[in-house]
Amino acid sequence: MDGIPILSFITYAPAVGAVIIFFWPGATPRAARWIALVSSLVSLALSIAMLLSFDTSLPSMQVSGKPQFSEIHSWLPAVGVSYRLGVDGISAVLIVLTTLLSVISIVASWDPIQKRVREYMIAMLLLETGMLGVFVSLDLFLFYIFWELMLIPMALLIGIWGSANRVYAAVKFFLYTLAGSLLMLVGIVATYQAYFNETGIHTLNVLELAKGHYSHEFQMWVFAAFFISFAIKVPMWPFHTWLPDAHVEAPTAGSVILAGVLLKMGGYGLLRFNLPLFPEAARSWQPYIVVLSVIAILYGAIVALVQPDLKKLIAYSSVSHMGFVTLGIFAFNAQGLEGAMIVMISHGLVTGALFLIVGMIYNRGHTRLISRFGGLATNMPIYASFFGFFMFASIGFPGLSGFAGEFLAILGALQVYRWAGVIALIIVILSAWYMMWMFQRVAWERAPGEPPDANDPVLRTPIPDLPEERLKPVMGGSGDEHFIDPRTFPDINWKEILMLTPLAILTLWIGVYPATFLDFVKPALQAILMPFGGSGF
């Protein structure tokens, strides 16, 4: 594939679609959907082709300095900025995740989005371009551009097509992430300048900058600047509060993308920038970050236990899951890093799927309140099967994608900080608890208002529902003014099955045979670990 700028094609294919929709005044909603689908499918196909031709036997770009599918064009030479694309295993895998979830998101918005479809699809496609750009760029400046580029379409998706409290959520999401990334901007410039002072070379090439020798104090500050930005994206406790709001208010596809890809960028950023550029600072910050990660893991789960809102519950569970990513990364050993990688991918698939699943019943019932559902397994057996499958995947059930990741992340942490691993392990109880409780109330038992089984010896409810009047202010308008009996919901249709099936297959595949996927990331992780002694490889 030499000579073909495949990464650019992958990245800009959605943008081209967006431009076509934008400038074609006669585009009907139907046409807009098809254009969006086709352009994102093109991107997906290209990215799969890219992944298939990715050479896992080559040493990682951090070692060889030669990224695969590299594209370099001079751009702003005076300030060291160049158009520099390239991938290693980590980004290659994440690119495919992104393109896949984008296609699924577009399909997921096919019917539910009926308002301003053209704009919606434009935002969706631009968002995809932004996300892909983040993963392919190797120039810090370019990276930052794509990084910020994602914000606007995402904020619009939440703010226009979201539910009741959407404006607050959109603005909060935007400001929160922007505030974080602006500090990163200072960090980028500072790194550039420090490297220039050391070597006299103007460059923002990540691979080049990683060769610099920065003073410890400098590293500490700049590491923090980068880290806060990524920590907000991850989102790490206590920078997580934008997430529940954003998830709850976003349309289904927005939640899928948000959980599936956007959160991964935090982890990706840590792997791509923080660790290679500032290894000494990473080591110094390690204990604090590990503490925060452990807090995030437990905190997310504990708060998720009492959420009355489906999306909020999953959002808090995301906080918990993503805690494993940071925990694993900052273990600085092979198990931790591979665990973090698996968790990222797995969380993308599983939480994405869970949001789709929630979206499906939201479309039917127009509410996200758990207490408005019940007994769905009776009239929606296929739906319940998928729900159960992904619920177990989310719990970290062995044989599904999450387990290996969480296990390895904790194993990695355990080797560094015994206590961190032990405390983080409590999650195996809590995650099962909140997920199963949700599943029980939504898919099992009976619909609200349905009389109970005559000879059901009603047991105590371990965790009672919050009283209705206390829910109201929290829920704002979750749209339960007109309650629709869940017994009338039809089972999911072929389109919805089509969305969930690839995710399910991948979840199972990674769970059963993670080696396919670990082969891709191994050289890259190995290279990242080198400044840390590369323990474990």
Partner 1 sequence: MADWLFLIPLVPLLAAVINYIFGRWWLKSLSSWIAILAVGFSFILSVVTFLDIRSGGGIITQHLYTWIPAGNFVVPVTLEVDQLVALMLLIVTGVSLLVHIYSVGYMHGDPGFYRFFAYLPFFVFCMLMLVLANNYLLLFVFWEGVGLCSYLLIGFWYRRRSAAQAAKKAFIVNRIGDLGFTLAIMLIFIHFGTLQYADIFSHIDTASGHTLTIIALLLFAGAVGKSAQIPLFVWLPDAMEGPTPVSALIHAATMVTAGVFMVARSYPIFEASASAMEIVAIVGATTAVVAATIGITQYDIKKVIAYSTVSQLGYMVFALGVGAWVPAIFHLFTHAFFKGLLFLGAGSVIHGMHDEQDMRGMGNLKKYMPVTYWTFLAGSLANAGLFPLAGFWSKDETIVSAWAEGHPFVAIAGLVAAFGTALYMLRVVYLTFHGTERFDPTKVHPHDPPWSMKAPLILLAIPSVIAGMLVGWPPDKGWIHDFLGPVFAQGKAPVEVATSTTVIFAIISTLVVLAGIGVAYFAYVGGRISPRQWAKRLGPAYQLSFDKWYFDDVYEKLIIHPLYLFSVFMWRVVDVEIIDGTVNGVATAVSYTSERWRRAQTGLVSNYALAIGLGTVIIIGAFLVFGSSLFP
Partner 2 sequence: MALDFVQPDWILLVPELVLLGTAILVLAGDVFLPRRNHYLLSWLVMAGFSVSLVSNLLIDWGAGKTTFSGMFRADYFSLFINIIVLSAGIMSIMISTAYVQGNDEPGAMPLPEYLVLLVLSILGTMLVGAAGDLLMIFIGIEMGSLAVYVLTGFARDRSTSIEGALKYFLLGAFATAILIYGMAWIYGATGSTNLAEIATRLKPMMTGDSKIEPSLLLALLLLAVGLSFKIAAVPFHMWTPDAYQGAPTPVSGYMSVVPKVAGFAAMARILVEALGPLSETWLTLIAILAVITMIYGNVVAVAQRDVKRMLGYSSIGHTGYMLVALAAYNSTSAGDRSVGSLLFYLFAYGFMNIGAFGVVTWLQHRGHGVDLDDFAGLGSRSPLAAFAMTIFMLSLMGMPPLVGFYAKYYVILAAIQNNLTWLAVVLVVMSAVSAFFYLRVVAVMYFNEPIRQWQAQSTPLLGVGLGLMALGTVGFGLFSGSVLDLAQKWVQAFT
Quickly list H helices, 381-514. Answer: 381-395, 401-416, 418-425, 427-442, 468-475, 494-512
Verify binding: residue 480, partner 2, rule CB under 8 A: no
Q: What is the CA radius of gyration of the chain?
A: 23
In the structure encoding, which two tokens stand for residue 155, read together?
């904020």
* Residue closer to partner 2 (CB basis): 142 or 341: 142
Among 192, 237, 417, 520, binds partner 2 (CB under 8 A): 192
Smallest distance, partner 1 to C-beta of residue 109, A? 28
* Residue closer to partner 1 (CB basis): 86 or 412: 412
* Residue closer to partner 1 (CB basis): 27 or 354: 354
Per-position x/- string for 112-131, each x denoting binding to partner 2 as judged by CB under 8 A, each - no binding? ----x--x------------
Smallest distance, partner 1 to C-beta of residue 103, A? 24
Residue 514 interacts with which of partner 1, partner 2, none, CB < 5 to 8 Å by class: partner 1
Smallest distance, partner 2 to C-beta of residue 174, A? 6
Quickly list H helices, 396-425. Answer: 401-416, 418-425
Quickly list H helices, 109-165. Answer: 117-136, 140-149, 151-161
Given a contact cutoff of 8 angstroms between Cβ atoms, the answer to whether 371 and 465 are in contact is yes
Among 56, 65, 148, 378, binds partner 2 (CB under 8 A): 148
* Residue 76, C-beta contacts closer than 8 angstroms, at least 6 positions apart: 82, 141
In the structure encoding, which two tokens stand for residue 96, read together?
């495919």
Cα 530–chain centre separation: 26
Q: Helix, strand or coil for residue 464?
A: coil
Q: Helix, strand or coil for residue 72?
A: strand
User: What does the chain come to in residues?
Assistant: 537
Residue 185 interacts with which of partner 1, partner 2, none, CB < 5 to 8 Å by class: partner 2
Residue 428 interacts with which of partner 2, partner 1, none, CB < 5 to 8 Å by class: partner 1
Smallest distance, partner 1 to C-beta of residue 399, A? 6
Count of chain residues binding partner 2 (CB under 8 A): 34
Residue 306 interacts with which of partner 2, partner 1, none, CB < 5 to 8 Å by class: partner 1
Stretch that binds partner 2, among 95-103, 105-113, 190-198, 524-532 (CB under 8 A): 190-198
Q: Which residue has the tokens 């409290």?
A: 165
Nearest to 99 by CA among 255, 257, 251, 271: 257
Verify binding: residue 189, partner 2, rule CB under 8 A: yes
Q: Helix, strand or coil for residue 69?
A: strand
Smallest distance, partner 2 to C-beta of residue 146, A? 8
Verify binding: residue 175, partner 2, rule CB under 8 A: yes
Residue type, 25: P
* Residue 44, C-beta contacts closer than 8 angstroms, at least 6 positions apart: 96, 99, 100, 102, 103
Judging by DSSP bridges, how do beta strands 81-87 and 68-76 pair with one another? Answer: antiparallel
* Residue closer to partner 2 (CB basis): 57 or 74: 74
Smallest distance, partner 1 to C-beta of residue 57, A? 15
In the structure encoding, which two tokens stand for residue 386, read together?
């998928």
Which neighbouring-strand residues pair with 68?
87
Among 72, 190, 220, 423, binds partner 2 (CB under 8 A): 190
Q: Interface residues for partner 2 in 149-168 (CB under 8 A)?
A: 149, 151-152, 155-156, 159-160, 166-167
Verify binding: residue 84, partner 2, rule CB under 8 A: no
Verify binding: residue 48, partner 2, rule CB under 8 A: no
Residue 287 interacts with which of partner 1, partner 2, none, CB < 5 to 8 Å by class: none
* Residue closer to partner 2 (CB basis): 25 or 533: 25
How far apart CA 87 and CA 50 sit, in angstroms, is: 10
The Cβ of residue 343 has, within 10 Å, a number of other Cβ atoms equal to: 32
Smallest distance, partner 2 to C-beta of residue 318, A? 24
Residue 422 interacts with which of partner 1, partner 2, none, CB < 5 to 8 Å by class: partner 1
Smallest distance, partner 2 to C-beta of residue 202, A? 10
Verify binding: residue 201, partner 2, rule CB under 8 A: no
Give exposure, 511-524, as e/b (b: 16+ Cβ within 10 Å).
beebeebbebbbbb
Given a contact cutoff of 8 angstroms between Cβ atoms, the answer to whether 265 and 132 are in contact is no
Smallest distance, partner 1 to C-beta of residue 20, A? 38
Smallest distance, partner 1 to C-beta of residue 30, A? 32
How far apart CA 86 and CA 324 sit, in angstroms, is: 27
How far apart CA 425 and CA 359 sit, in angstroms, is: 30
Smallest distance, partner 2 to C-beta of residue 198, A? 14
How far apart CA 537 and CA 534 sit, in angstroms, is: 6
Residue 453 interacts with which of partner 1, partner 2, none, CB < 5 to 8 Å by class: partner 1
Question: Where along the sequence are the contacts to partner 2 (CB under 8 A)?
Answer: 75-79, 116, 119, 141, 144-145, 148-149, 151-152, 155-156, 159-160, 166-167, 170-171, 174-175, 178-179, 182-183, 185-186, 189-190, 192-193
